[in-house]
């Protein structure tokens, strides 16, 4: 339906390594969606802020996909909280890029996160094309489920999100719950909200013999491997897993000889203020000997870690979706997740994993122990995890997203009295 789409991902580049800084599930979402849209013959330009002088203005990352690095503010040392001050400069450069082409070069704008939505709203009005927006996270939701020690999102972000919701021709929600939150918390027009689940790359995240994966990663074949993968920040709550491990070992000291707790990722968000906080906590809890810190890894190596794990823990205080939970399930590994946000959609309790209603370490320890002690339960959850992951594919995400683009364009034409 469209020939070329402008995607805006201002605060983080799809080329950045997920798992540290501001790079995470949204980075994976943008690039994987772009790949599937481009595979259908539709060009995608992804606008993102340049964070280093060495970055080329244009990077071709695949057939029909261009990443455009936009100069807006200093390359380094600019925090996410300071980015609103660069919105005008970023928007000007986006408009200049389009002005170098004939009118109608882009047929839709798809913005990701509220900062990008502010720029997308301006581009929509200038280009006369529909704005489709994906929130990814919402300030009001985050502030309602604030992790201990985390900072609340500022009022300026809340206002900015409200403005983007009002301006968008269509809002893509990851789950039914997110759709309800957009409508109830942000007064979004229900007719403009569409639910489109993100996907998982089933060619990368696929079943692999656990023993082989463990051998390649240097893990003992008989180990109990409790994996956390993601950005190290209060919102993601890796401390909950570490505290649960301390309870496990207090209850059953014999577990220590077999327990391995890999933490794959790097500091992010407010976690950057105390980058060694999690390692310090492991030491203070007396479990530093079983915790292994692993820097952020590529998707293929992350798939190895998931396949090697006994279970993957996702104890976040909030997740709009929870990509790592789907990725883990796609390798046939059960997930123990907090019963929050999109995780209640991604993980089927008792089928592909177990959901925990609290963030109390004792409750997490008990749930984890159920899986460690019950081989039949592990096998049943592993089978369910594979089946659950097949419900999510990037091809389906792209198909549904393009349908939203078409619907938004039609709505825009009707409102303009055209056609």
Which residues sit in the known binding site for UDP-N-acetyl-alpha-D-glucosamine? 17-18, 25, 231, 236, 297, 319, 327
Rg from Cα positions in the chain: 22
Cα–Cα distance, 31 to 35 (Å, whole number): 6
Residues 42 and 251: their CA atoms lie apart, in Å, by: 57
For residue 153, the 8-state DSSP code is: P
Q: Are 339 and 356 in contact (CB under 8 A)?
A: yes
Eight-state DSSP code of residue 229: E
- Residue 114's region, left for phi above 0, alpha for psi from -120 to 50, else beta, is alpha
For residues 306 and 302, give the distance between their C-alpha atoms in angstroms, rounded to a whole number: 6
- Separation CA 101–CA 280 (nearest Å): 54
Collapsed DSSP state (helix, strand, coil) of residue 67: strand
Token pair of 8 as six digits: 């805006």
Per-residue exposure over 41-61, b if at least 16 CB sit within 10 Å of its own CB, e if not: ebbbbbbbbbbeeebeeeeeb
**Is residue 270 a contact partner of residue 345, using CB atoms and an 8 Å limit?**
no
Residue set of the binding site: 11, 17-18, 22-27, 80, 113, 137, 157, 231, 236, 297, 309, 319, 327, 333
Give the whole-angstrom CA distance, residue 92 versus residue 297.
35
15-87-47 Cα angle (round to 5): 30
Annotated binding site for 1D-myo-inositol 3-phosphate: 11, 22-27, 80, 113, 137, 157
> What is the bridge-based pairing of β-strands 108-112 and 131-134?
parallel
Q: Let me know: does 44 contact 64? Beta carbons within 8 Å.
A: yes
The alpha helices in 331-360, defined as continuous H runs, are: 343-346
Strand partners, 60: 66
**What tokens does 163 get?**
């403005």
Judging by DSSP bridges, how do beta strands 65-70 and 108-112 pair with one another? unpaired
Contact between 322 and 236 under an 8 Å Cβ cutoff? The reply is no
């Amino acid at each position: 339906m469209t020939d070329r789409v402008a995607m805006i991902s201002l605060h983080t580049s799809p080329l950045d390594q997920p798992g540290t800084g501001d790079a995470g599930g949204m980075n994976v979402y943008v690039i994987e969606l772009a790949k599937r849209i481009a595979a259908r013959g539709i060009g995608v330009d992804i606008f993102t802020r340049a964070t280093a002088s060495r970055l080329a203005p244009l990077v071709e990352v695949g057939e029909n996909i261009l990443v455009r690095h936009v100069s807006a503010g200093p390359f380094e040392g600019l925090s996410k909280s300071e980015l609103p001050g660069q919105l005008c400069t970023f928007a000007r450069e986006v408009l200049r890029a389009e002005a170098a082409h004939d009118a109608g070069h882009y047929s839709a704008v798809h913005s990701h996160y509220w900062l990008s939505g502010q720029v997308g709203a301006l581009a929509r009005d200038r280009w006369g094309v529909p704005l489709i927006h994906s929130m990814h996270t919402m300030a009001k939701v985050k502030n309602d489920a604030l992790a201990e020690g985390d900072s609340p999102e500022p009022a300026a972000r809340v206002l900015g999100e409200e403005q983007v919701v009002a301006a968008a021709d269509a809002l893509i929600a990851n789950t039914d719950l997110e759709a309800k939150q957009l409508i109830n918390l942000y007064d979004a027009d229900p007719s403009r909200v569409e639910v489109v689940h993100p996907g998982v790359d089933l060619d990368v995240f696929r079943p692999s013999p656990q023993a082989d994966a463990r051998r390649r990663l240097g893990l003992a074949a008989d180990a109990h491997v409790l994996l956390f993968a993601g950005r190290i920040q209060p919102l993601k709550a890796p401390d909950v897993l570490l505290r649960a491990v301390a309870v496990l070992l207090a209850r059953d000291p014999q577990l220590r000889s077999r327990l391995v707790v890999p933490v794959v990722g790097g500091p992010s968000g407010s976690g950057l203020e105390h980058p060694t906080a999690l390692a310090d906590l492991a030491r203070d809890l007396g479990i530093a000997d079983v915790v292994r810190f692993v820097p952020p890894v590529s998707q293929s190596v992350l798939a190895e870690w998931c396949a090697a794990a006994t279970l993957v823990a996702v104890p976040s205080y909030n997740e709009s979706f929870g990509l790592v939970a789907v990725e883990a399930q796609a390798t046939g590994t059960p997930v123990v997740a907090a019963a929050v946000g999109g995780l209640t959609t991604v993980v089927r309790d008792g089928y592909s994993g177990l959901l925990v209603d609290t963030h109390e370490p004792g409750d997490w320890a008990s749930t984890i122990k159920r899986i460690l002690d019950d081989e039949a339960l592990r096998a049943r959850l592993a089978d369910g995890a594979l089946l659950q992951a097949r419900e999510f594919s990037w091809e389906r995400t792209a198909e549904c997203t393009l349908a939203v683009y078409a619907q938004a364009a039609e709505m825009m034409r009707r409102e303009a009295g055209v056609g």
